[in-house]
Amino acid sequence: MREGAACDRQAAMTETYNPPQSPLDILHEDAQLIVVNKPAGLLSVPGRGAHLADCLLSRVQAAFPQALLVHRLDRDTSGVMVFAQTPHAQRVLGQQFEKRLTRKSYVARVWGHVEPKSGTVDLPLIVDWPNRPRQMVCHETGKPAVTDWRVIRRDGNTTRMRLLPRTGRSHQLRVHMLALGHPILGDPFYADGAARDFPRLMLHSEELRLKHPEGGVSVKFRAPAEF
């Protein structure tokens, strides 16, 4: 899901950036693709300034100098990210993301008991300029944003959910869950009180389906959530 490099950069500039130093978790590698499990707290791409240079792209390129960026995840979101090994793969994969031909599945833990068991949020989003990088719902000028969701299970005062975005707006899943009245646990922008008091944003890109750039065969990459 493309959740905005600009948002990542601005967020990192407002607080101390201490990315995790865990080893690169490679899920798949071939002549066209590198698939990595991104840790929470690490920028997808470098921000402005040397203190924001450490990112998943730079770490991947340290091991695979030819690696090329295809899409991004929020700094606070963990999970599956794909990089291209060739310009051809970057172009083909980029078109799939742009045309919404990929299929992405996220796991999230949210505050409260979600009812009913499934549904869809269809609310247009736009940046909340005075409060950047926050996003907000705006029916007049917002861009279309649609998220399908279903409950996995309820645990105490929280609910584990599967989120299936049809679009890829910045902070889409986070704002859509807030709009349901169930912010994602640990969200520094949209949760407050007890819902915010968690060690990380409880949002993970668990599965990514796409067509391989060499041959067009459908492939699936998966990394289970750690929470």
Catalytic residue among 8, 74, 76, 187: 74
> Taking Cα atoms as reference points, which of 184, 195, 216, 219 lies closest to residue 78?
184
Level-2 CATH architecture, domain 106-203: 2-Layer Sandwich (3.30)
74 is annotated as an active-site residue: yes
Residue 95 CB contacts under 8 Å (≥ 6 apart), including other chains: 101
pLDDT at 168: 95
CATH topology of domain 5-101: Pseudouridine synthase (3.30.2350)
In this prediction, residues 16-43 reach a mean pLDDT of 97
Residues paired with 146 in a beta bridge: 122
The residue behind tokens 């299936």 is 164
- Return the amino acid letter for 3: E
Classify residue 126 as left (phi > 0), alpha (psi -120 to 50) or beta.
beta
Q: Over the stretch 63-122, which tens digit does the pLDDT of each residue have?
A: 999 999 999 999 999 999 999 999 999 999 999 999 999 999 999 999 999 999 999 999
pLDDT at 20: 97
- Residue 15: which pLDDT band, with cuts at 50, 70 and 90? low
Delimit the CATH 3.30.2350.10 region(s) of the chain: 5-101, 106-203
Q: Is the pLDDT of residue 14 over 70?
A: no
Mean per-residue pLDDT of the chain = 94
pLDDT at 71: 97
